[in-house]
């Protein structure tokens, strides 16, 4: 029997362990899988906190249903009947620009009517058809791509808020190829984004006509999906579906390479032996485990930066909020000079997020462009959030419910050169085939990305088990 230890009980580690067990059964190989987690709870950044009738998400609040991997995991676990998709009204998303909330256009006619982008900005966007595709080598940042193809106004009012909403990132430093590889592929394949949209739409219509495809109500971005009791039902479901142990309060301090596998040293003095180790912890944490053993890999991992984030949950009596909350929420361009990155209208997205007659708003503060916000006191975080809500939504009353959650290492940043760093990391591990990395620091930060990477890591593990046998 091959002993396998997965380090980290977030969605990446848990789904890796589950996939290993499933593939091992299919391949008829014997494995003993154990998950070690330094915190006293499993789930990582997925944590649905219920207090005073409010359901606050400490980290992510769901996943998009436009990719199959997480949905397939839910089906395998038997928890798919409990899935909860956001209301159609949650498709209404807003950008706060020039002191006004603008609904994000969803199609051509609404884009032409929208005042979010000025007419010169719209003409510049239309001019994307005339911009030749990039032929130079090198890693282009999102800001460089945005200015080159779409213009500065689109960069400031569309791309920058999107990047802060997904990555809490700075488009001036983020890599296009690593953050949005599909966009890079579309430019290279079709010569531009508008050309790509037109050709793909034509292709989809032809497929529908021929009966080879069906129109999707989810749209290109998919529908945000969670559970009635919060997204933590997903990680709890994986834990329940595992055969192997999930050991919390087991912090790994060091990985020692042995002739056959690894000796895993714990911070409490304990030890575990394993033939194969999968790390699903943040990059900086894995680097600390490798110090003194694999210094090359540790040095590369330390070059993956993280953005800080404060998550602020405010609960109000519904009758005190005059602003229409029929929508998903809004993002704020950096140029507006606000304290927060945006606010989600959580109780409008999913039911069971606030008591009857109450609403729950969840704001984000910090990110790569405001790392110092993590050091602010709770009172100052509350005051600055209230200032933004007053300015943007006209909310001038004290919240009845306040919770502030701090993430010093919230989201890994795929900055310029990220793909090159991953290649260096792969090369540095070529002599250690029994050490496998997964997690959101490498190939995507969303839940779907983490589950997809976990499946790939599990395939590597089973292939290694077979080769060792």
Q: What is the layout of strands, in order, in the sheet containing 401-412? A: 100-103, 93-97, 329-331, 342-344, 358-366, 306-317, 401-412
- Domain locations in the chain as residue ranges: 2-40+231-304+415-468, 117-209, 306-412
Please state the rounded mean pLDDT for residues 116-123: 95
Model confidence at 221, in pLDDT bands (50, 70, 90)?
A: low
Which CATH number describes the domain made up of 2-40+231-304+415-468?
Answer: 3.50.50.60
Whether the pLDDT of residue 302 is over 50: the answer is: yes
- In whole angstroms, what is the distance from residue 298 CA to residue 285 CA? 9
In the chain, what percentage of residues exceed pLDDT 70? 97
CA distances (Å), origin 39, targets 10, 100, 233, 279: 10, 42, 18, 15
- Which pair of tokens denotes residue 103? 């609904």
Q: Residues, the chain, total?
A: 469
What gap in Å lies between CA 16 and CA 35, rounded to an integer? 10
Q: Are 41 and 47 in contact (CB under 8 A)?
A: yes
Q: Cα separation of 203 and 198, whole Å?
A: 9
SS3 99: coil
From residue 276, give the alpha-carbon distance in Å to each of 255, 262, 464: 11, 7, 8
Cβ atoms of residues 380 and 387 within 8 Å:
no
Question: Two tokens at 358?
Answer: 């109450």
Element (DSSP H or E) covering residue 410: strand 401-412
Task: Band the pLDDT of 294: cuts 50, 70, 90.
Answer: low
Q: What is the pLDDT of residue 201?
A: 82
- Can you tell me the distance from the alpha carbon of 296 to that of 424, in angstroms, rounded to the nearest whole number? 9
Contact indicator for 311, 58 with CB cutoff of 8 Å: yes
Q: What's the Cα-to-Cα distance from 74 to each of 80, 196, 319, rounded to whole Å? A: 5, 33, 37
User: 161, 331 in Cβ contact below 8 A?
Assistant: yes
Residue 218 has pLDDT above 80, yes or no: no
* Diameter of the chain measured on Cα atoms: 67
Fold of 117-209: protoporphyrinogen ix oxidase, domain 3 (1.10.3110)
Residues 6 or more apart whose CB falls under 8 angstroms from that of 391 comprise 99, 338
Nearest partner of 73 among 219, 209, 208, 236, judged by Cα? 236
Segment 389-400 shows an average pLDDT of 97
pTM score:
0.93
Residue 157 DSSP code: I
Confidence band, pLDDT 50/70/90 cuts, at residue 208: confident
CATH of domain 306-412: 3.90.660.20
Contact 33, 4 (CB under 8 A): yes
pLDDT of residue 216: 38
333, with CB counted inside 10 A (0-12, 13-18, 19+), is buried
* Token pair recorded at residue 217: 């109500």
Residues 6+ apart with CB under 8 A from 363: 311, 312, 314, 340, 341, 342, 343, 344, 385, 388, 389
- Say what the pLDDT of residue 136 is: 86
pLDDT at 217: 34
CB atoms within 10 A of CB 260: 10
Per residue in 154-194, pLDDT tens? 999 999 999 999 999 999 999 999 999 999 999 999 999 99
Cβ atoms of 288 and 280 closer than 8 Å: no
CA distances from 329 to 95, 150, 320, 346, 425 (A): 9, 25, 18, 8, 38
Q: How far apart are the first and last CA of the chain?
A: 10
Long-range contacts of 177-184 (CB under 8 A, 24+ apart): 177/139, 177/140, 177/418, 177/419, 178/139, 178/414, 178/418, 178/419, 179/142, 179/414, 180/142, 183/145
pLDDT in the model for residue 214: 42
Contact 446, 70 (CB under 8 A): no
- If you ran DSSP here, which 8-state letter would residue 360 be given? E
CB contact set of 14 (below 8 Å; sequence gap of 6+): 35, 42, 43, 235, 238, 239, 242, 246
Query: Can you tell me the distance from the alpha carbon of 207 to that of 435, in angstroms, rounded to the nearest whole number?
Result: 44
pLDDT tier for residue 138 given thresholds of 50, 70 and 90: confident
Contact (Cβ atoms closer than 8 angstroms) between residue 286 and residue 275:
no
* Residue with more model confidence, 176 or 469: 176
Residue in the block written with tokens 């070059």 = 303
């Amino acid at each position: 029997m091959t002993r396998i230890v997965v380090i980290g009980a977030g969605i990446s580690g848990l789904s890796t362990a589950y996939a290993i067990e499933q593939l091992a059964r299919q391949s008829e190989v014997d494995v003993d899988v154990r998950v070690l987690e330094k915190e006293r709870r499993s789930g990582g950044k997925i944590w649905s906190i219920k207090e005073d009738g409010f359901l606050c998400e400490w980290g992510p609040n769901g996943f998009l249903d436009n990719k199959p991997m997480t949905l397939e995991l839910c089906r395998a676990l038997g928890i798919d009947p409990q899935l909860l998709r956001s209301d159609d009204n949650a498709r209404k998303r807003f950008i706060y620009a020039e002191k006004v909330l603008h609904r994000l256009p969803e199609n051509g006619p609404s884009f032409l009517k929208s005042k979010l982008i000025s007419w010169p900005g719209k003409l510049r966007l239309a001019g994307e058809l005339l911009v030749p595709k990039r032929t130079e080598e090198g890693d282009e940042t999102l800001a460089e791509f945005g200015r080159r193809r779409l213009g500065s106004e689109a960069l400031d009012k569309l791309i920058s808020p999107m990047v802060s909403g997904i990555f809490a990132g700075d488009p001036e430093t983020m890599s296009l190829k690593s953050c949005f590889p599909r966009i890079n592929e579309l430019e290279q394949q079709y010569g531009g984004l508008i050309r790509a949209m037109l050709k793909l739409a034509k292709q989809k219509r032809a497929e529908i006509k021929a009966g080879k495809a069906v129109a999707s109500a989810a749209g290109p971005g998919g529908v945000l999906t969670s559970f009635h009791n919060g997204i933590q039902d997903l990680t709890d479901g994986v834990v329940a579906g595992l055969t192997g142990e999930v050991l919390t309060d087991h912090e790994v301090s060091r990985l020692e390479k042995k002739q056959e596998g690894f000796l895993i040293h714990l911070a409490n003095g304990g030890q575990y032996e394993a033939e194969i180790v999968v790390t699903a912890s943040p990059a900086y944490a894995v680097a600390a485990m490798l110090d003194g053993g694999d210094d090359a890999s540790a040095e590369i991992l330390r070059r993956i930066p993280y953005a800080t984030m404060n998550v602020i949950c405010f609960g109000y009596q519904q009758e005190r909020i005059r602003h229409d909350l029929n929508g998903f929420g809004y993002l704020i361009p950096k140029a507006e000079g606000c304290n927060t990155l945006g606010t989600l209208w959580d109780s409008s997205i999913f039911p069971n997020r606030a008591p009857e007659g109450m609403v729950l708003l969840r704001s984000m503060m910090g990110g790569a462009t405001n790392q110092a916000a993590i050091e602010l006191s709770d009172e100052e975080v509350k005051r600055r959030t209230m200032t933004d809500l007053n300015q943007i939504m006209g909310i001038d009353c004290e919240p009845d419910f306040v919770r502030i959650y701090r993430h010093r290492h919230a989201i890994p940043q795929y900055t310029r050169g990220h793909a090159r760093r991953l290649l260096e990391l792969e090369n540095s591990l070529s002599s250690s085939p029994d050490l496998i990395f997964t997690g959101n620091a490498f190939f995507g930060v969303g839940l779907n990305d983490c589950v997809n990477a976990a499946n790939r890591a599990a395939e590597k593990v089973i292939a290694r088990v077979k080769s060792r046998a």
